[in-house]
């Protein structure tokens, strides 16, 4: 996984005051695709106005952590990115709760998720209804949602905004089974 043109386009939906960003999975910058010199993710984000950068990854990031468990620390960020990392995490409840908790009230969550099977490193692929249920249950605003194809796989990119409250994360229940 890496930072691509699709993710850079989604960053533009996060508002002018977003200054802190946390990546799930330490991402590489696909510099040739972006037409830029090789650079670290923190430098790329700095070019887009971010002054604070952290990444969480089991194999090294600024914080080494297994996202199968709820993250017990870190102050919230203006933006939390998930460029497909959740598809590699077995415990979906824990990782989406962590994203919620890492995102400050009024902050943004950027997701790019596979809509179909892609390679052997993923546990999951998603349906667009997943985003709708996640947003509806937690009162997130869907700022944008767009489908694109990368490496022959359909994906969805979206920016969700957390409401201005301190509500705890709620696990979605599919509308078919909700009372």
pLDDT tens digits, one per residue of 114-161: 988 766 778 888 988 999 999 999 999 999 999 988 878 888 999 999
Read off the tokens for 119. 């390679």
Q: What angle do CA 113, 115, 119 make, to 5 degrees?
A: 85
CA distances from 4 to 19, 41, 48, 155, 160 (A): 20, 11, 14, 13, 19
Give mean pLDDT in consecutive 10-residue pieces for the chain, a chain of 179 residues.
Answer: 85 92 90 78 91 92 91 90 94 96 96 82 87 95 92 88 93 79
| DSSP 3-state of 147 | strand
Q: What is the largest CA-CA distance in the chain?
A: 54
| Domains of the chain, start order | 2-161 (3.40.50.150)
Q: In this structure, is the dihedral angle defined by the CA atoms of residues 84, 157, 45 and 13, taken in order, positive or negative?
A: negative
Pick from 73, 88, 116, 103: nearest CA to 27: 88
């Amino acid at each position: 996984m890496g930072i691509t043109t699709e993710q850079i386009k989604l960053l533009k939906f996060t508002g002018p005051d977003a200054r802190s960003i946390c990546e799930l999975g330490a991402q590489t910058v696909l510099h040739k695709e972006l037409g830029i010199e090789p650079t670290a993710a923190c430098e790329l984000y700095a070019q887009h106005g971010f002054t604070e950068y952290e990444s969480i990854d089991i194999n090294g990031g600024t914080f080494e952590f297994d996202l199968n468990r709820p993250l017990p620390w870190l102050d919230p960020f203006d933006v939390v990115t998930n460029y497909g990392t959740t598809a590699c995490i077995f415990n979906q409840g824990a990782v989406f709760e962590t994203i919620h908790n890492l995102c400050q009230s009024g902050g943004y969550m950027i997701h790019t998720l596979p809509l179909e099977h892609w390679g052997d490193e993923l546990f999951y692929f998603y349906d667009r209804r997943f985003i709708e249920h996640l947003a509806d249950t937690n009162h997130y605003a869907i700022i944008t949602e767009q489908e694109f194809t990368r490496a022959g796989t359909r994906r969805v990119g979206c920016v969700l905004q957390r409401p201005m409250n301190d509500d705890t994360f709620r696990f979605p229940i599919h509308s078919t089974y909700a009372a």
